[in-house]
Amino acid sequence: MADAYTRFIRSAPGGMLAKQLGLPRPSRLLRRDDRPEPVLGPVVVLGASAGADAVAHRLLEDGADVRRRVEDLRSIGSVIVVADELSAPAELGPLLLPLAGAMRSLAPGARLVTISRPATGEEPARDAARGGVEGFLRSVAHEMRGGATANGILLADGVGVDAPGAVGALRFFLSARSAFITGQLLTVSTEAGSTTENASLPLAGRTALVTGAARGIGAAIARTLAADGARLVVLDVPGAGTELARLANELRAIPLQLDVTSADAGRRVVEFLREKGLTLDVLVLNAGITRDKLFANMTPDRWDPVLAVNITSQIALTEALLEAQGEGGGVLGAQPRIVSLASTSGIAGNRGQTNYAASKAGVMAFVDALSGRLAPLGGTANAVAPGFIETEMTAKIPPLTREVARRVNSLQQGGLPVDVAEAIAFLASDEAGGVQGETLRVCGQNMVGK
C-alpha cells in the first residue's frame, strides 16, 4: 500500500529525478508474505565472547548460514554484533570496525542486531562502553539503506544470550516481521519465557481479546493473532457492530459489542468470558481515539473522552480481570500477556495533541507498573508505540503535513497496520516472556524522541 509519491519514485523516471534532486527514495519493505525465511543469510556473528559462540551455535541449529567474518562476502543478509562482555570503550573499535567496510555489502532488507547489556551506574568504564553500543546502534540505523534495519537487544545482567527472551527477541528482529522497526533497543530483563516449538503458529491454543478491533490497526492485530493460531474475542463499540461482525465471521472469532468507557465494562467482560467458558491468555488494549486541538483551545469535551478511552478504560479493564483472578473464578490463563497501544506522541509530544500525548504517556507508565503485578502470575505487560501508520485516521491529515510525517523517519515512509500487529504478536508470544514493562516503538526510527 505505497503512497503516490513512493509509487512515482519507484518508477524509472521518478527514481532518476529523486536522485538528481536529493529527494527521499524509500525502499520497498519486505514483510512476512514477501520474505518467509526466518533469517536472511548469510548471517555474520561478530564478537569474541562465549556469548557470540552461543549465538552462532544457536543459529546453526536453526539452519542458518553462519559466518564469523565479514571479509570476502559479496552479500550479507544479517549481522549480529555480540557485545555482552564489554569492559571499556577501547573495546568498541575492534568489535565494530570490521563491519564498516562491509556496510555496502548488506542485502536489501538486511538486518543488523546488537546484543549488549544496559548501563547499571556501578562501573564507569564498563557503563561507558555499554552506552557506546546504544549510541552506535541508533546512529547506524540512520545509515541503513535498501529497507535494511538495525536494532538492539539489551540483556540485564544475569540473563544469558541463550535465554528464551533473548532468543525470541533476536528471532523477531532478524525476521521480516520487524520491517518497520529500526533504531530501537529492547530490554530482556529476566530468564522467563520459552522458545516457540511451532514457529508458524506461535499462539496456537491461546485465547486473545482485542479491543477496538473492528477496523484499522485493531483489525490488523486480530488478523495477525489469528494467523499465529490464537482463538479470538474481538471487541468494539456498538456503533461498529457491522464491521465487527464481518471481522468475526472472517476470523471465526467471538464478537463482543461494548463501550470500554462504560462504568460496568470490566464486569461485563469478566461475565462474558465466564459465560463462554473462556480463559484469557492475551489481552490487547488497542481501543483509542483522538480529539486534536491546540492546548490554548482545549476544552473538557475534547480532553475527557481521550483520557477515558485511551488509558482509563485500560486500567479499569485490567483491574476487573485481576480482581476476578483473586476471587477464585479467574478468567486469566497461566502466564497472561497484556499489550497496550501507546504512541510516539507520548514519547516526544506532538503539536495539538496534549490530550492524546498525556493519555499515551500514561499507557507507557501503566504497563511498566502493571508488569510488576503480573510477574507473580508469570505474566507480562508491555506496550507498542506506533509512529506514522497508514490508516483512515492519518489519511485525513492535511496533504503536506501527511507527506512530511511519512518522510521524517529512517525508512522514509509510513508504516502499515500489520507492522504494529506483528510487534504485538511477538510481545504476546511465549518467546517474549523475559520482556517486562517495555515500550517498543514501531515508527521506522522517527526523528523525534528516542
Q: What is the pLDDT along the chain (450 residues), one digit of tens a residue?
A: 567 777 777 777 877 877 777 777 788 999 999 998 999 999 999 999 999 999 999 999 999 999 999 988 999 999 999 999 999 999 999 999 999 988 999 999 999 999 999 999 999 999 999 999 999 999 999 999 999 999 999 999 999 999 999 999 999 999 999 999 999 999 999 998 877 667 789 999 999 999 999 999 999 999 999 999 999 999 999 999 999 999 999 999 999 999 999 999 999 999 999 999 999 999 999 999 999 999 999 999 999 999 999 999 999 999 999 999 877 678 999 999 999 999 999 999 989 999 999 999 999 999 999 999 999 989 999 999 999 999 887 877 787 788 888 888 999 999 999 999 999 999 999 999 999 999 999 999 986 545
Do 180 and 213 have their domain in common?
A: no
For residues 246 and 256, give the distance between their C-alpha atoms in angstroms, rounded to a whole number: 12
Whether residue 98 is found in the same domain as residue 225: no
Task: Looking at the structure, tell me whether residues 105 and 182 fall in a common domain.
Answer: yes
Predicted pLDDT of residue 197: 63
Question: Does residue 140 sit in the same domain as residue 235?
Answer: no
| 5 classed as catalytic | no
Q: How far is CA 373 from the centre of its chain?
A: 22
Candidates 5, 356, 366, 388; catalytic one: 356
pLDDT at position 450: 53
Do 120 and 215 sit in the same domain of this protein? no
What pLDDT shows up at residue 308? 97
Q: Tell me whether residue 448 is in a domain.
A: no
Residue-level pLDDT at 448: 58
Among the listed residues 47, 80, 283, the one whose alpha carbon sits nearest the alpha carbon of residue 166: 80
Asked whether residue 168 falls in the same domain as residue 316, the answer is no
Q: Are 126 and 53 in a shared domain?
A: yes
Whole-structure pTM value: 0.94
Q: Which amino acid is at 332?
A: L
Q: At what angle do helices 313-326 and 354-374 cross, to 10 degrees?
A: 20
Q: Are residues 144 and 277 in the same domain?
A: no
Note whether 212 and 152 are same-domain residues.
no
Answer whether residue 12 is part of any domain: no
- Does residue 13 form part of some domain? no
Q: Is the residue at 19 inside a domain?
A: no
CATH code at position 61 = 3.40.50.720
Which three cell numbers mark 59? Answer: 543459529
* Residue 238, in any domain of the structure: yes
| Domain of 109, in residue numbers | 25-188
**pLDDT score for 145:** 94
In the listed set 154, 188, 222, which residue is the last one of a domain according to the structure?
Answer: 188
Both 85 and 133 in one domain: the answer is yes
Is position 1 within any domain? no
* Residue 67 lies inside a defined structural domain of this protein: yes
Same-domain status, 133 and 241: no
The total number of structural domains that make up the chain: 2
- The closest alpha carbon to 222, from 421, 364, 72, belongs to 421
One domain for residues 402 and 374? yes
Last residue of a domain, one of 160, 188, 216: 188
Query: Which among 364, 359, 263 has a CA at the least distance from the CA of 311?
Result: 359
17 assigned to some structural domain: no
